[in-house]
């Protein structure tokens, strides 16, 4: 098989989700030619998708060294944005634009960066530049829709989501976000229809599963909510929020034996989930399990020391345990933080 055919097979493996096979073929090409730019880039993108960011950075730099294409430069910008190295991300997006002023993806990515930095007018400008080059680029319409959604300009957001769907009817992100817009407008049935349409196209699309589960929970359709959150976990087993929502469903039904392990699982996956730690602390305190309650409240405090409710919970429990000086310190902190919030 020629190098060209081998890379084409690697691309097909990657497209169909067979990343191990794709990576093995890329590595074979690189072993034969260490400057094989496309193989280096694809292997870097596989590492990026697998959250191996340092490895991805090394491979993408090698790809750029071998061939400084706008596409490679823009993806390197994406990686630095993911690593919150925002200045470097901007540098690589601008390098991509300089390399190819017609490369729409770089303007779109620069717009995403500026939106993340809350530089809204600049983000809109970059998105509009992208659309001047290619008015039929669905991703730009989706991102503009997201920006207008954040600004509560829902009619403008809907316009861009609908345009994206005209261009790409299978765009599940646009369906999901348009559904969320309907939900903002208090049209839950219209939202459910669009979430279900997104899931018919991509059954493991986690944002739609979570949003649909939240609607079912709000409607007290407990079984449907649990089923939908469990589908989200099947698609993304380490998704802490799905376990938290399952805990909430059980808790709302006073099924604490089922809720408690779900809260623990959510906290295991994301120790910064102060809600789960607080609820577990409250449950333990109500049973007189003060040691475990204090452990949960202190874990919550470590994750979010600026939450007045967290400080208050620790202070009250320490007061009950007779640790009055420590209790007073937490309670005073809670009062100070509460004054700041007010």
Chain position carrying tokens 């333990």: 284
Handedness of CA 173, 174, 175, 176 (dihedral sign): positive
Q: pLDDT by residue (tens digit) across 176-211?
A: 999 999 999 999 999 999 999 999 999 999 999 999
pLDDT at 342: 46
Average pLDDT, the chain: 94
Over residues 248-259, the pLDDT tens digits come to 999 999 999 999
Least Cα distance to 45 among 30, 60, 33 occurs for: 60
Picking from 295, 322, 300, the residue whose alpha carbon sits closest to that of residue 310 is: 300
Provide the residue ranges of all domains of the chain, joining segments of one domain with +: 138-200, 271-342
pLDDT > 90? residue 17 = no
What's the average model confidence in pLDDT over 275-285? 92
Task: Tell me the whole-structure pTM to 2 decimals.
Answer: 0.84
Count other C-beta atoms under 10 Å from residue 255's C-beta: 14
- Rounded Cα distance, 195 and 173, in Å: 10
Percent over 70 (pLDDT), the chain = 99
User: Tokens representing 162?
Assistant: 């609908």
Question: pLDDT at position 340, please?
Answer: 64
Question: 138-200: what fold?
Answer: 1.25.40
pLDDT at 1 (0 to 100): 75
Distance CA 39, CA 47 (A): 12
Overall CATH class of domain 271-342: mainly alpha
Q: Where are the beta strands (DSSP E) in the chain?
A: none
Q: What is the mean pLDDT of residues 291-312?
A: 90
Tell me the percentage of the chain whose pLDDT exceeds 90.
84
Does 138-200 match 271-342 in CATH topology?
yes
Per-residue burial over 172-191, b if 16 or more Cβ lie within 10 Å, else e, is bbbbbbbbbbbbeeeeeeeb
């Amino acid at each position: 098989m020629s190098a060209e055919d081998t890379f084409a097979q690697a691309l097909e493996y990657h497209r169909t989700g067979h990343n191990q096979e794709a990576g093995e073929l890329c590595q074979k090409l690189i072993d034969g030619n260490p400057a094989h730019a496309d193989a280096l880039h694809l292997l870097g993108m596989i590492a990026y998708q697998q959250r191996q960011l340092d490895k991805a950075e090394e491979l993408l730099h090698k790809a750029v060294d071998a061939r400084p294409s706008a596409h490679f430069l823009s993806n390197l910008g994406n990686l630095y944005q993911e690593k919150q190295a925002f200045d470097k991300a901007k540098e690589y997006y601008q390098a991509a634009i300089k390399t190819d002023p017609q490369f729409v993806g770089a303007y779109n990515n620069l717009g995403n960066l500026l939106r993340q930095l809350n530089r809204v007018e600049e983000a809109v400008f970059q998105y509009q530049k992208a659309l001047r080059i290619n008015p039929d680029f669905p991703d730009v319409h989706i991102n503009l829709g997201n920006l207008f959604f954040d600004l509560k300009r829902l009619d403008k957001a809907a316009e861009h989501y609908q345009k994206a769907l005209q261009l790409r009817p299978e765009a599940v992100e646009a369906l999901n976000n348009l559904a969320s817009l309907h939900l903002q407008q208090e049209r839950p049935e219209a939202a459910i229809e669009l979430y279900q349409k997104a899931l018919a196209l991509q059954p493991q699309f986690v944002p739609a599963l979570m949003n649909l589960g939240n609607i079912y929970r709000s409607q007290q359709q407990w079984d449907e909510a649990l089923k939908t959150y469990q589908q989200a976990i099947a698609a993304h087993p380490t998704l802490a929020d799905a376990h938290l929502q399952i805990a909430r469903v059980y808790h709302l039904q006073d099924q604490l034996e089922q809720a408690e392990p779900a809260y623990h699982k959510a906290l295991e996956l994301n120790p910064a989930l102060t809600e789960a730690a607080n609820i577990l602390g409250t449950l333990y305190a109500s049973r007189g399990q003060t040691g475990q309650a204090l452990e949960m409240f202190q874990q919550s405090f470590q994750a979010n020391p600026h939450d007045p409710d967290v400080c208050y919970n620790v202070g009250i429990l320490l007061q009950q345990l007779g640790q009055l000086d420590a209790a007073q310190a937490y309670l005073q902190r809670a009062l100070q933080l509460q004054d700041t919030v007010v």
